[in-house]
Structure 1
């Protein structure tokens, strides 16, 4: 039995994932009695959250990250009342991977100040450790604090008001071009070892067929990388690349290099960017128009990329027997001193699981290929997602019909059935350097 329930398109599954940050996405979540704030940075806390998500049957777990803290502790405006600090998402995913067995793991890793070679090989390592369950949320870092933390180059000058209104900006364009180069380097490095480059024949003393390990010889205006990777080809070959987009320029980056684009429909917050207030249908139409651009369509075809998967983010607080979600949100907003909905780039829903399921169904009808849920409090809202919301989504054909606890969650005869690529319906990845394919051609 497939672990995925098909969507309107027969080859595109509808996925349900979860994104975690701190004690929950609400800045006052750490003050909840159930939050275990004292163990927020304990590895075991994150393993328990991952196990909770896996047991529930969620398709993947995304881990938020940035190059700077959630606030500047030296800023007089910071009063010390909100969580400051994160564990490195990629390293955390490496720790979680061998302690789980089914759920996909998608850490956020920035490209702006990091070396593309190190990013690519680190993610390849995660794919090996997780046996094919790794993905990459590609992120850019435009802020001055991130640039100062690394000290290698200044932050670009970006007119944020212009970007939020949908206007083009040279600084943003440069960051996006840099990210596109980094993604291309990663994809080439992931292909640089063919599947059977390792011979490992002790009798003949041959470990490697060097003709099946290829330099990538990438060069652009920004950097050059000779390759090959130091990591052998990983189980998926090509990890799914995910990009969060609030505007057409970032969606264009996703259309050029990514497999999945995350969007934030129906958010009225200024942080929702140029698509602030847009419906799911409007955003889907805009992204599909970008994807149909002849140059972008040709680039995707040349890279062997399938149709872009569009996933919607939803910040979520669910009713419990002890407290309605709306009352909890009001209480947390009072503790934080500001309404969370005004600062969240994603729509915030506080209510029943039925209300959440109805909204998700509407988004699916509008062309959305999946949802990524952001629990406002941890572990309470994550547990409610697994125990209350997912069963409703399954009944409506909006989530996997089986859970990770079921023996037929993945097909044991298909080694790729448990891969993250399979969750998104991406199929097996080819290899641009495959010498056998060239010989056949």
Structure 2
């Protein structure tokens, strides 16, 4: 029996030089034929080795990398949905069926999660059940990345994704526990746990309704209540709060961090020199984050001659999260850091390599950003960098057999602050250097157990 498989390529027959989806028809391990579909809707794509990874089928750099990857993921997901739910002898039949469904939406195999959620909201609105619609509206705003509380000036944030695709755009029949767990993790990370129980309950209710309507055979069995974020403990001392919350804050022990410092990044790097160099920059960004106890977005945006003074090896900057706050003297809140020799060595290694004047020559720092006016674009680039680094950190965690398997950038900030407090440093000074408060250290950063 013939099977169909999909991949993205820029070497598709007569379409060479354009990005296409290749559908290969195989039988008994042999490829019988290939058909191609040009990817539409890309924004100024570049297929140079620095911007496009042919093997992985991903845009890895460039001004529109995130948006273009979203377009390709959506197309591949849609085509794979047709393969999984239909019967096609080759790519031509598959593409014809897919194109017909786009022209005639009622013929599509299933609605997306977002479309089904919208249909629930429309039905409740038509029935005049405004009290019941609120919970679904809250979920809708979370999935689309909009803060509903700010009516005239809505605040946008990164919506939840799974494998590079917005949960909002995933077909309802494909939603499973994997997506449910990813959504819960997103609430804890992006929304700091706010509304966790209500959002997770509503998410599960949507899938239950889809199951009742036979739009999906999946049911959600993940026990999300057992993994709810720990709330503030009223009536306890700060020390008791730290002890109670310590187990929920992931960190590396000092020995594990030392092993990370020694780890040869080439062990997990692709063979191409460009990627090997990029992974070394990623590792140095993580180390610089630890040495400065800063947030990833702040480390990425530090510049020579502005935030960093080369002669004194000092960094003075306003953390992004504190940019709107004013201190007692009527000035923006600033952090002053005297850098250790390890941080200075990293900065000197890359001196003069960023066209934008930044400390680290990341692809996104090939230009100088005007962050106040370009914040949305800059923020998306930062999140893309963080996502890619986190992918490699998980591989390093496996290679080093770390206890924290789901290793991420923020674990290094947690670790740096915890190690400093344990070493006897003044907690108020640590909070000031980290651009946070003693209360937040107790709640979010300090691990009293590991």
Question: TM-score, structure 2 length as denominator?
Answer: 0.25
Q: Say which one has the larger Rg.
A: 2
Higher relative contact order (CA 8 A, sep 6+): 1
Structure with the higher fraction of residues in helix conformation: 2
